[in-house]
C-alpha cells in the first residue's frame, strides 16, 4: 500500500470527521448520521493501515480520531448508585446462581473430606499424638481451653475485622488462582478442611464435639459457603482455560474473569457479615441454640437471595458480567 496515495484519497473524510467532532452536541440529524458513517469508514481505514503499512504517526492520528468518534457516538458512561444496586440485586446473585453446579459439589465434597478427616483423628490416638503432645491437646480441648477462648481473645470489633480480612483474602485467592487450571484452589480447600477436620477430631475425642459445633456453626455456615462459592468459581475459571466452549479462549476468560472480579466484591460483603457474627455473636453469652439460629438465619437469607434474585436475573440472561457498553469490543471469529 502506498501510504501517501491512501492519505490523499481519504484525508478529506478524516478532516470532515474532525470538524463534526469539534461541534460537540450541536449536530443536526443528518450530521449525526454522517458522523457515524465517517466513524465506521475511519475505523476500516485504521485497520487497513495497521495490517498493510503500519506508519506510526498515521496510526496514532487515526487511533485518536476513532477513539474520539466512538466516545461521541456511545457517550461517556459514569458509574452511579444505579450500577451498584443492579450489581447487588442482579449481577452478583446471578453469577453465584449460574456457578451453583460448581460450588455445590465443591461444598459437599469438601465437607465430606473434613468430616472424614475429623472421624479419623477422633478414632486414631496416633494421629492425635502427631498433631500435638497430650498436655497441649488438653489445653486445646478442655473447658475454657484455646478452642473456646479463641473467639473472645480479642475485642469483638478488631477480631471481626481480622477474620473478615483473612477470609476475604482466602476467597480472593480462590478466584484469582483459579486461572492456573484450578489446582491452587484445591490446595486452599484442603487446608481449610484440614483445619476443620482437626478441630472436629480433637474435640470429639475429648467428648466436647457439641461445644465445638456450637462455636463453629453460627458464623461457619455463611463463611464456608462464601469460601465454597469462591472456590467453585475459581474451578470454573480453571476449566474455562481447558474448555472455553464456542467462544475464543480469550473471550471466555475475559467474561469469566470479569464475573470473578465482581464475585470477589460481593463475597467480601458476605464475609463481612460472617465476620460480624464471628466477632459479636459466636463469643457472646447467648444460648447455643440462639447463636446457631442466627447462623442458620444468615445462611438461609443468603441462599434465598441467590436462588430468588439470582435465579430470576439468570433466567433473564444476566451472566454476572459488566454492562455490554463497558465490555471490550470483540470481532467475529471463524469457528
Residue with cell 435465579: 311
Q: What is the pLDDT of residues 85-107, one digit of tens each?
A: 888 898 899 999 999 999 999 99
Q: Is 217 within a domain? A: yes
Q: Which grid coordinates belong to 197?
A: 477436620
Average pLDDT for residues 71-83, to the nearest whole number? 67
- Give the pLDDT of residue 216: 92
- Give the pLDDT of residue 333: 41
Q: Is 18 within a domain? A: yes
- Give the pLDDT of residue 331: 40
Final residue in a domain of this structure, among 40, 74, 108: 74
Q: Are 105 and 172 members of one domain?
A: yes
- Give the pLDDT of residue 76: 52
Please give the model's pTM, rounded to 2 decimal places: 0.71
- 3-class SS at 248? coil
pLDDT category, 1, cuts 50, 70, 90? Answer: low
- Give the pLDDT of residue 34: 86
36 within 8 A of 20, measured Cβ to Cβ: no
Q: Are 200 and 98 members of one domain?
A: yes
User: Measured at the alpha carbon of residue 85, what is the angle toward residues 79 and 86, in degrees to the nearest 5?
Assistant: 85
What size, in residues, is the chain?
335
Q: Is 57 within a domain? A: yes
Q: Is 35 within a domain? A: yes
Final residue in a domain of this structure, among 45, 74, 103: 74
Q: Are 54 and 114 members of one domain?
A: no
CB atoms within 10 A of CB 77: 11
- Give the pLDDT of residue 53: 67
Tell whether the model's pLDDT for residue 183 goes beyond 50: yes
Question: Which of 107-111, 171-175, 320-324, 331-335 shows the highest mean pLDDT?
Answer: 107-111
Q: Is 179 within a domain? A: yes
Report the mean per-residue pLDDT for the chain: 84
Q: Are 171 and 298 members of one domain?
A: yes
Q: Is 331 within a domain? A: no
* 159: containing domain: 85-324
151-159 CB contacts, 8 Å cutoff, 24+ apart? 151/215, 151/278, 151/282, 151/283, 152/283, 156/279, 156/280, 156/283, 157/279, 159/278, 159/279, 159/283
Q: Are 66 and 120 members of one domain?
A: no
77 or 261, greater pLDDT: 261
Tell whether the model's pLDDT for residue 334 goes beyond 70: no
Q: Are 290 and 150 members of one domain?
A: yes
Q: Are 167 and 42 members of one domain?
A: no
pLDDT category, 217, cuts 50, 70, 90? Answer: very high
Q: Is 28 within a domain? A: yes
Structurally, how many domains does the chain consist of? 2
Q: Is 80 within a domain? A: no
Q: Are 66 and 177 members of one domain?
A: no
Q: Are 69 and 138 members of one domain?
A: no
Residues 196, 198: Cα–Cα separation, whole Å: 5
223 or 61, greater pLDDT: 223
- Give the pLDDT of residue 27: 77
42 or 83, greater pLDDT: 42
Tell whether the model's pLDDT for residue 323 goes beyond 70: no
Final residue in a domain of this structure, among 16, 47, 74: 74
Average pLDDT for residues 221-242, to the nearest whole number? 90
Q: Are 27 and 164 members of one domain?
A: no
- Give the pLDDT of residue 281: 92
Q: Are 213 and 283 members of one domain?
A: yes
Q: Are 110 and 58 members of one domain?
A: no
Amino acid at each position: 500500500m502506498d501510504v501517501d496515495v491512501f492519505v490523499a484519497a481519504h484525508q478529506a473524510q478524516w478532516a470532515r470527521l474532525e470538524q463534526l467532532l469539534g461541534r460537540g452536541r450541536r449536530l443536526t440529524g443528518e450530521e449525526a448520521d454522517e458522523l457515524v458513517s465517517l466513524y465506521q469508514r475511519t475505523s476500516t481505514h485504521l485497520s487497513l493501515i495497521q495490517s498493510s503499512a503500519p506508519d506510526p504517526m498515521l496510526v496514532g492520528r487515526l487511533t485518536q480520531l476513532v477513539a474520539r468518534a466512538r466516545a461521541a457516538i456511545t457517550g461517556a458512561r459514569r458509574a452511579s448508585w444505579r450500577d451498584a444496586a443492579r450489581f447487588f440485586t442482579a449481577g452478583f446473585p446471578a453469577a453465584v446462581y449460574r456457578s451453583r453446579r460448581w460450588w455445590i459439589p465443591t461444598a459437599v465434597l469438601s465437607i465430606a473430606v473434613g468430616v472424614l478427616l475429623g472421624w479419623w483423628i477422633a478414632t486414631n490416638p496416633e494421629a492425635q499424638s502427631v498433631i500435638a503432645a497430650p498436655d497441649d491437646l488438653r489445653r486445646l480441648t478442655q473447658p475454657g481451653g484455646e478452642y473456646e477462648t479463641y473467639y473472645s481473645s480479642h475485642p469483638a470489633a478488631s477480631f471481626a475485622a481480622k477474620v473478615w480480612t483473612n477470609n476475604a483474602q482466602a476467597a480472593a485467592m480462590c478466584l484469582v488462582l483459579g486461572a492456573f487450571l484450578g489446582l491452587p484452589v484445591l490446595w486452599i480447600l484442603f487446608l481449610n478442611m484440614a483445619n476443620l477436620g482437626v478441630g472436629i477430631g480433637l474435640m470429639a475425642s475429648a467428648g466436647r464435639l457439641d461445644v465445638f459445633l456450637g462455636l463453629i456453626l453460627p458464623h461457619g455456615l455463611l463463611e464456608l459457603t462464601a469460601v465454597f462459592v469462591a472456590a467453585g468459581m475459581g474451578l470454573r475459571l480453571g476449566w474455562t482455560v481447558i474448555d472455553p466452549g464456542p467462544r475464543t479462549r480469550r473471550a471466555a476468560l475475559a467474561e469469566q474473569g470479569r464475573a470473578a472480579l465482581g464475585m470477589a466484591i460481593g463475597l467480601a460483603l458476605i464475609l463481612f457479615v460472617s465476620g460480624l457474627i464471628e466477632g459479636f455473636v459466636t463469643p457472646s453469652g447467648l444460648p447455643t441454640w440462639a447463636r446457631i439460629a442466627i447462623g442458620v438465619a444468615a445462611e438461609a437469607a443468603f441462599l434465598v437471595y441467590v436462588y430468588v434474585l439470582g435465579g430470576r436475573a439468570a433466567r433473564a440472561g444476566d451472566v454476572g458480567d459488566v454492562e455490554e457498553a463497558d465490555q471490550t469490543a470483540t470481532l467475529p471469529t471463524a469457528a
